[in-house]
Amino acid sequence: MTTSELVLLRPFQIRNADEFLDENILELFVDPTSGVAGPFDYCNEIVKGKMGTGKTMYLRANYMYHLSVLVPQMMDRVPLVLPLYIKLSDFQNLHQPEKIYDNILIRLIDEVLNTCEKLQSASELVKLHEGLQNNIFGMWFNRVSQKPVIDKLNKLTAEEYTQQISTELSTQGTIGNNFLQACSTYGKSHFIELKKKDRPQIGDVVFAYDTLLRPINCKLLILFDEVGSIDKTFFEEHGSTSYFETLMNQLRTLDFVRTKIAIYPHTFGDILTETRYGDVVALEDDIYTTAGYTSFLNKTISIAEKYLTSVASHSVSIESVFDVSQDNMQLLEQIIYAADGNMRRLVQLFDSTLNECYKRCQATECANIMDASAAIRNQAIQMEHLYYGADLDFLRTLTAVCKKRTAYRFRFPNKSPILLRYTNKSSEYNILKIKEIGAGRRGTTYWFDYSYCLYADIPTHYQFNSERIARSRSKDEGNWITTVTRITDELIAQANLPGKIDGTIAYLNAEKTAGFISDGTRDDFFFTTGFVIESDKGAHLTVGRKVRFFPVPLDKSMTAREIEIL
């Protein structure tokens, strides 16, 4: 398959985990864990990450893995783990916390019975088998505890797999057959009665387990997704604890249950702070640090090759589609900065980059850094188009001030209500990001989104050991600019005044109270510190410092007024 043919198949078109077919989940899953802990370990975990970081993918991969190996484990007479995937968004129409609690308990038992039905469906069994056999590339195959099961399954054809499972489930006295019979009996009697109850209890879950699963030595792995979609009253204290904490406490004390729950950090659902609820699996990497960037780069390469391979049906390296190499990763570097640790945005940028490549050369060549830059700029343009009128004018003025002061980070005291328009427009990415919430007299620190910096030409990098701007915006040429500029209403007003020009201080007297400014053509613009605007009165003056000023003739000489110290 040529690169052009591969690009036309749009390998990065799907970017929502909910849209992937069950049999493709494990094939596309990128392991975010490191060390001895694996993503499919039977343990309690709190999976944390902002929107688009892969929480749903992590839980769905857990579900598909444990479901895929369930029946082979039955045959080998080893302890079983039954996964239950619960989308709490199914209960977002409920506003009474006790109703949410009741429905979750009923759903837990319902999912056990649904799994029973899946194991009796030949088409579902084929999907499970394909889902595992597609994963010869998965990095998690080197987990010692999982390798024997995977090796065994890979040796079977789909027909052999289905036949073995059918035999296991139909033969009297086997674990599988006992499980199906128990599910059938329970579903026809106890479950119907349970749904009629006014208030189901955790004891009903225990009874269902004792009836269905304890006889076959099977434990539960409960996967809670979309926690943030539930009414916030479920997380508010009613008496001593919230219904959410009550549920999690009840489940954690059951010897046959482990839970993995997806949480948005710093939201009302982020209240499970004790280690008794599980280890935290952090899905976000700080790409502004060396370790964080390296970690996300490895995930980026892995996810790109998995998506490409899935579409091509044979192994595809990232170098065969994108203009990158071991010594030149600048294309991926730019996409990573623009994605800002967001996996969904990363996949979207890959798709846009290949689209730009196709427009440029019909994808007869590999996608290059110019294609990536065009995709990033297009994304920024879409973000800017969300604003109009006074909001757009203010944004452009703010951009001009930061650009002149060579800073993409800033503080703007007492302007939080206005700046919220640029930080809360989207749940995934915005033109402005809050990087540090203000405390006391220290104001909130805002950062411009990287894609917008690229589009608006706001500097983000200095060359090594210099204050010269690194135009490549690459770690190979320089470092991130760490300057945080302070913006005031006066600076905003000054930015809108016509006639100002840029210059540098050419001379200072010994007291640093007066001197001359050069605009590049003449160097005799006289100034005193009294001509500096109020917002910059405390700025340190040095020869060579950049300034912005009004040129004003005085008698036969020129003076610099309304001086901004950049």
Is there a single domain that holds both residue 228 and residue 256? yes
Instruction: Give residue 455's pLDDT.
Output: 97
CA distances from 489 to 354, 497, 532, 539, 546 (A): 43, 13, 15, 17, 21
Instruction: Give residue 129's pLDDT.
Output: 57
Instruction: Give residue 140's pLDDT.
Output: 40
Is there a single domain that holds both residue 271 and residue 134? yes
Is there a single domain that holds both residue 278 and residue 294? no
Structure tokens given for 525? 């613009």
Is there a single domain that holds both residue 327 and residue 474? no
Instruction: Give residue 240's pLDDT.
Output: 78
Cβ distance 360 to 397 under 8 Å?
no
Is there a single domain that holds both residue 190 and residue 317? no
Mean pLDDT per 10-residue segment, the chain (566 residues): 91 92 87 86 94 93 87 77 92 93 89 73 59 47 49 58 63 66 68 67 87 84 94 86 92 95 90 90 92 94 94 92 94 96 94 97 96 97 94 95 93 90 86 85 90 97 93 95 92 87 93 93 91 91 92 88 91
User: Dihedral through CA 480, CA 484, CA 488, CA 494, nearest 10?
Assistant: -40
Domain end position, chosen among 352, 377, 402: 377
**For helices 343-361 and 290-312, what crossing angle results, to 10°?**
60
Q: Note whether residue 20 is domain-resident.
A: no
With 0.75 as the threshold, say if the pTM is over it.
yes
C-beta pairs of 31-40 under 8 Å, 24+ apart in sequence = 31/138, 31/139, 31/140, 32/58, 32/281, 32/283, 32/299, 33/281, 34/295, 37/279, 38/140, 38/143, 38/145, 38/146, 39/140, 39/281, 40/65, 40/66, 40/140, 40/143, 40/146
Instruction: Give residue 149's pLDDT.
Output: 52
Instruction: Give residue 136's pLDDT.
Output: 41
Is there a single domain that holds both residue 244 and residue 346? no
Is there a single domain that holds both residue 256 and residue 345? no
pLDDT digit string (tens) for 54-65?
999 999 999 988
Is there a single domain that holds both residue 250 and residue 307? no
Q: Can you tell me the distance from the alpha carbon of 317 to that of 6, in angstroms, rounded to the nearest whole number?
A: 12
Nearest to 262 by CA among 251, 270, 250: 270
Instruction: Give residue 68's pLDDT.
Output: 81
Is there a single domain that holds both residue 259 and residue 406? no
Q: Note whether residue 51 is domain-resident.
A: yes
Domain end position, chosen among 345, 377, 409: 377
Cβ distance 549 to 501 under 8 Å?
yes
Q: Can you tell me the distance from the alpha carbon of 413 to that of 149, in angstroms, rounded to the nearest whole number?
A: 59
Is there a single domain that holds both residue 107 and residue 77? yes
Q: Give the chain's domain count.
A: 4
CB burial string 227-247: b at 16+ within 10 A, e below: bbebbebbbeeeeeebbbbbb
Instruction: Give residue 307's pLDDT.
Output: 94
Is there a single domain that holds both residue 110 and residue 203? yes
Is there a single domain that holds both residue 91 and residue 212? yes
Instruction: Give residue 172's pLDDT.
Output: 65
Q: Can you tell me the distance from the alpha carbon of 149 to that of 141, in angstroms, rounded to the nearest whole number?
A: 10
* Residue 209 belongs to domain spanning: 46-138+150-282
Q: Note whether residue 393 is domain-resident.
A: yes
Instruction: Give residue 137's pLDDT.
Output: 37
Cβ distance 74 to 176 under 8 Å?
yes
Domain end position, chosen among 255, 282, 309: 282
Structure tokens given for 42? 């039977």
Would you call 173 helix, strand, or coil by DSSP?
Answer: coil
Instruction: Give residue 436's pLDDT.
Output: 87
